[in-house]
Amino acid sequence: MKFLHTSDWHIGKKYANKDRLEEQKQVLEEILQIANNHNVDVILIAGDVYDQSNPPNEADKLLYQMLPLFSKKGERPVFIIAGNHDSSSKIEAPKYLTEELSIFFVGFNDTQLEIFQNSNGIKITQTDLGFAEFQLPDYNYPLRIIFAPYNHIARIKKDIPENISSESLMVRDYFKQKWSYLAQKYCDNQGINLLMAHYTVKLPEDFSPEDYDADNIIGGNYTLYPDTFPEQIQYVALGHIHSFTEVNLKPCPIVYSSSPLCYSKKETDLQKYVVILDAEPNMPVHYEKIPLSTGKKIFFYENVTFDEIENILQNNPEHFYEFTVKVDEVFDYQSRKNTLESQYPQIIRITILKPEVISRQDFQEWKSYSEKELFIQFLEKIKKIPLSQVHMEVLEEILNFKVENDNS
């Protein structure tokens, strides 16, 4: 049985004020093409399909337009869990409509799907809280999935015995016990056994995991270790971290697929992927990462000139850019900045680093200067213009005019 693992679509996410829905549509079409080219049987989407719990209508429209294509109108099951950016309730809201199309939404750790068979012959044969077993028409063995969508700790706490006092161990121990129970009860070696989760997973000795979702960091008590996962599981499909990451290979491959697009400056150098895996009962899973080519990068350049900005944008116009410009001279930089920003919509912002016109030491020194001396200092030190006879004549005329007015 062949699977495609993806996550962190963040549909509706903008960068600064730049809408990215068209990019997101294009990359989802690329992922769909990969799934079709590899004759994938099942799609796994491991959370954060939206960028916010109350996404705009355009984000809903794009998701609901694409999912039936991913499911081939019901021939290919699609499994979606909630991430920390999603609303668990919203994720599950359409499930009674979409299950006929073989699109299965799981928003909560205690969600229990109902036993049924849709018109495409895809059956749910066993269910429990956070678990379901599926039978696909073309296979004579079942697919079992343990679902672990992101849920706030307050929701998980209600299921945790009061005698567990250490909050740092609480969630980890809760999942370890729950998943062990489900795996022992349902996941024998006669079927394919997978787990989908949207949490931070790292090795115990790694205390600084790479986390590209800085605005929504999941704390230490939400961090899971490889030994949290049952030995019966053949592959763990993770979401949350935006880089492709193989956390560990034991007890099975534990893998982040990466987000499909670059969503922050820290991700500019990251290649984005989806993962294709082949699985069969009682055998190691074989998987490969497939690079994605769609989407804009986010570049940041410091201490450049306006001419350099224009050259960068003309040579590589398809990405997003942020610039800082260090102005060496006093001139009307605002009009040039405004012209570039209106001419090149891919500019996120241009920040001007203004020069220090005079230092504190210069100020103390110049306080004692005459008007004539100040004018000379301005020309030579600030404007960097050699003093000429014409300058001196103009200055003398101005000073004489000032004296005449003062006397009158």
Per-residue pLDDT of the chain (408 residues; tens, 9 = 90+): 999 999 999 999 988 888 899 999 999 999 999 999 999 999 999 999 999 999 999 999 999 999 999 999 999 999 999 999 999 999 999 988 899 999 999 999 999 999 999 999 999 999 999 999 999 999 999 999 999 999 877 666 666 666 555 554 677 888 999 999 999 999 999 999 999 999 988 876 554 434 433 333 443 346 888 989 999 999 999 999 999 999 988 889 999 999 999 998 888 889 999 999 999 999 999 999 999 999 888 899 888 888 889 899 988 888 999 998 877 655 667 788 888 888 888 888 888 876 654 444 555 565 667 777 777 777 776 666 777 888 788 878 887 765 555 555
- DSSP string across 147-215: EE----HHHHHTTS-TT---HHHHHHHHHHHHHHHHHHHH--TTSEEEEEE-SEE--TT--S---S-GG
User: Residue 394: which of 382, 381, 376 has the closest Cα?
Assistant: 376
3-state secondary structure of 61: helix
| Start-to-end CA span in the chain (Å) | 99
Sequence spans of domains, the chain? 2-291, 298-353, 360-407
User: Residue 218: which of 283, 153, 165 has the closest Cα?
Assistant: 153
Q: What tokens were used for 116?
A: 């049924």
Which residue in the block uniquely carries the two structure tokens 């004020």? Answer: 17
How far apart, in Å, are the Cα atoms of 102 and each of 116, 121, 185, 274? 11, 10, 25, 21
- The topology (CATH level 3) of 2-291 is Purple Acid Phosphatase; chain A, domain 2 (3.60.21)
Find the Cα–Cα–Cα–Cα dihedral 55, 58, 64, 67, rounded to 10°: -90
Helix (H) or strand (E) holding 364: helix 360-366
How far apart, in Å, are the Cα atoms of 374 and each of 263, 360, 405? 51, 15, 21
